[in-house]
Chains A and B, each alone.
Chain A
Amino acid sequence: MIRADHISKTFDGREVLKDISVEFDTGKTNLIIGRSGSGKTVLLKSLVGLHEVDKGLIFFDDTCYTKLGFRERKEIRKDIGMIFQVGALLDSSTVRENVRLPLDLFTEMTEGEKRDRVNFCLERVRLQGADHLYPSELSGGMVKRVAIARAIVLNPRYLFCDEPNSGLDPQTSVVIDNLIHDITKEFNITTIINTHDMNSVMEIGEKIVYIHEGHKWWEGTKDDILLSDNPELNDFVFASAMAKRAKSVAR
């Protein structure tokens, strides 16, 4: 479980997150949705510790992450996997080296054990044959899959994904969504995905938090979205004509 308790964040006098309290459940695919510039990426990066919050507390299970020092945070970060919007693979390393890096740095595994673990993770994301390639030689979908493999290589308890589908075609997006969802269930991870892809919401969203102008505006399940009367949420979710028709059918 990850919990944010009344957190706020300001950049250059502009309050981007405004008193947000939210809880993300273990073993579920939790989604943060919202318009561009609504503060969802800042929320995700604040939860993971890349931004320090100005006010409020963040808990990882029973541990108050906000109050921890650098060394204690480092221990929790070994339990965190993160998939960035652009993949964020190390350009100078091959796919295998990228996935293997956390094992090299934080485990005492033998060479054979590391090789097996990397092979397992690459097979899990269906990239067995691409281990010798460099990030510049990969397609967008492959980059995301390598990022997933790297994120799960240390068996994380928490998985953060910042717009994992951005720049991908609809079919590849579904593949990535399902992969993240399956991994969440398989390893009982607390997964938080930051997205504005409505397909993802309808495919894998188990708990959805809508951020609007820095506030937590709404939360619920994907079924609740279809029946919600919240005007801002409806404006965002059912912006397209097709989505509006889907809602009327659902009702």
Chain B
Amino acid sequence: MIKLFENIGRYFMLMGKVFSRPEKISIYRRRIWFEIEALGFNSISLTAIISAFIGAVVALQMAITLESPFIPQFMIGYATREVMVLEFSSTVVALILAGKVGSNIASEIGTMRITEQIDALEIMGVNSASYLILPKVVATVIFVPLLTLFSIFVGIVGGYAIAYLTGIMLPGDYVEGLFYCFEPFSITYALVKGAVFAFIITSISAYCGYYAKGNSLEVGRASTRAVVAGSITIMIFDLILTQIMRV
């Protein structure tokens, strides 16, 4: 328990360093673009594949489960949209990114720690925490909500494709369901969740890497810790945000 509080305290101290005044804005701007490409663009294909399949599976499951003369067919489109917007595209994509991006950040920064690259930056007078972590945080907080929107779109298209290809329902009914009782705030809700989860993934994995000690084995352990701690924290905040922003 003491270790947990120690880690939380160190995490907030690190965040204090991360959000202190940057050395030169232009350098950070360049690094943010680099990180958007490295962490964001490189996650598009994975997000697209998973979202398309999940959208298709959700539509298929709904069609099987809601097979009743008393339930209108457009409910399949409605349910698919709700699943994608409210939960899948923000939370599940965040969990997937916690694995991909989180382990990447923890191992990158952890390797820099054990090979003294972080010490070298500190000796130069660079705020290493801010220089290494802030661009990653900003890049993911900007990009993950966009990725969430993209995932919603691809998932819904996946559902439409399965409806069209298998003939389990009329594609027109599916589209009608997509617009049924649509609450625009649910998109805002998904975007806010995406941004919060992006911050959690990046900051926790950067924290795990930044305080890695020892050798390459420790970098591996830091990477695993980052994924586990990031995933659990995402689930806790999913619950909190759902309660606060009930749609």
> Which chain A residues have a beta carbon within 8 Å of chain B's beta carbons?
45, 48-50, 74-75, 77-78, 80-82, 84-86, 88-91, 101-102, 104-106, 160
A91 in contact with B117 given A105-B23, A105-B24 (CB within 8 Å)? yes
Set of chain B residues within 8 Å of A80, measured between Cβ atoms: 123, 125
Tell whether, in the assembled complex, residue A88 and residue B124 are in contact, meaning their CB atoms are under 8 Å apart. Answer: no
Set of chain B residues within 8 Å of A78, measured between Cβ atoms: 124-125
Set of chain A residues within 8 Å of B124, measured between Cβ atoms: 77-78, 101-102, 105-106
Most buried by A among B24, B27, B115: B115
Decide if B122 is an interface residue (CB 8 Å cutoff). Answer: yes
Tell whether, in the assembled complex, residue B117 and residue A82 are in contact, meaning their CB atoms are under 8 Å apart. Answer: no
CB of A55, distance to nearest CB on chain B (Å): 22
Decide if B62 is an interface residue (CB 8 Å cutoff). Answer: no
Tell whether, in the assembled complex, residue A88 and residue B125 are in contact, meaning their CB atoms are under 8 Å apart. Answer: no
Complex CA distance for A77 and B122, rounded to whole angstroms: 8
Tell whether, in the assembled complex, residue A85 and residue B116 are in contact, meaning their CB atoms are under 8 Å apart. Answer: yes
Tell whether, in the assembled complex, residue B23 and residue A88 are in contact, meaning their CB atoms are under 8 Å apart. Answer: no
Tell whether, in the assembled complex, residue A48 and residue B123 are in contact, meaning their CB atoms are under 8 Å apart. Answer: yes
Tell whether, in the assembled complex, residue A86 and residue B123 are in contact, meaning their CB atoms are under 8 Å apart. Answer: no
Instruction: Give the number of chain B interface residues (Cβ < 8 Å).
Output: 15
Among all A-B residue pairs, the 5 with the closest Cβ atoms = A77-B125, A88-B120, A88-B116, A82-B123, A84-B116
Complex CA distance for A80 and B27, rounded to whole angstroms: 21
Set of chain A residues within 8 Å of B23, measured between Cβ atoms: 105-106
Tell whether, in the assembled complex, residue B116 and residue A105 are in contact, meaning their CB atoms are under 8 Å apart. Answer: no
Set of chain A residues within 8 Å of B24, measured between Cβ atoms: 104-105
Decide if B37 is an interface residue (CB 8 Å cutoff). Answer: no
Set of chain B residues within 8 Å of A91, measured between Cβ atoms: 111-112, 115, 117
| 17 A-B pairs in the complex with CB atoms less than 8 angstroms apart | A48-B123, A50-B119, A75-B125, A77-B123, A77-B124, A77-B125, A82-B119, A82-B123, A84-B116, A86-B116, A88-B119, A91-B112, A102-B124, A104-B24, A105-B24, A105-B126, A106-B23
Complex CA distance for A86 and B123, rounded to whole angstroms: 15
CB of B42, distance to nearest CB on chain A (Å): 14
A-contacting residues, B90-129, CB 8 Å: 111-112, 115-117, 119-120, 122-126
Complex CA distance for A85 and B114, rounded to whole angstroms: 12
CB of A146, distance to nearest CB on chain B (Å): 11
Set of chain B residues within 8 Å of A75, measured between Cβ atoms: 125
17 new A-B contacts, CB < 8 A, other than A45-B119, A91-B117, A160-B123, are A50-B119, A75-B125, A77-B124, A80-B123, A82-B119, A84-B119, A84-B120, A88-B120, A90-B112, A91-B112, A91-B115, A101-B124, A102-B124, A105-B23, A105-B125, A105-B126, A106-B125
Residue of B nearest to A78 (CB): B125
A50 in contact with B122 given A105-B23, A105-B27, A106-B23 (CB within 8 Å)? yes
Complex CA distance for A89 and B118, rounded to whole angstroms: 10
Residue of A nearest to B30 (CB): A104
Complex CA distance for A50 and B123, rounded to whole angstroms: 8
A86 in contact with B27 given A78-B125, A105-B126 (CB within 8 Å)? no
Residue of A nearest to B26 (CB): A104
Q: Residue-by-residue, is B196-222 near A (CB-CB < 8 Å gives 1, otherwise 0)? A: 000000000000000000000000000
CB of A197, distance to nearest CB on chain B (Å): 19
CB of A43, distance to nearest CB on chain B (Å): 15
Residue of A nearest to B111 (CB): A91
Set of chain B residues within 8 Å of A48, measured between Cβ atoms: 123
Complex CA distance for A74 and B126, rounded to whole angstroms: 8
CB of A84, distance to nearest CB on chain B (Å): 5
Complex CA distance for A48 and B125, rounded to whole angstroms: 11
Complex CA distance for A111 and B122, rounded to whole angstroms: 24
Set of chain A residues within 8 Å of B116, measured between Cβ atoms: 84-86, 88
Set of chain B residues within 8 Å of A82, measured between Cβ atoms: 119-120, 123
Most buried by B among A75, A91, A101, A105: A105
CB of A151, distance to nearest CB on chain B (Å): 9
Set of chain B residues within 8 Å of A45, measured between Cβ atoms: 119
Complex CA distance for A112 and B177, rounded to whole angstroms: 61
CB of B216, distance to nearest CB on chain A (Å): 13
Complex CA distance for A104 and B22, rounded to whole angstroms: 13
A89 in contact with B126 given A104-B24, A104-B27, A106-B23 (CB within 8 Å)? no
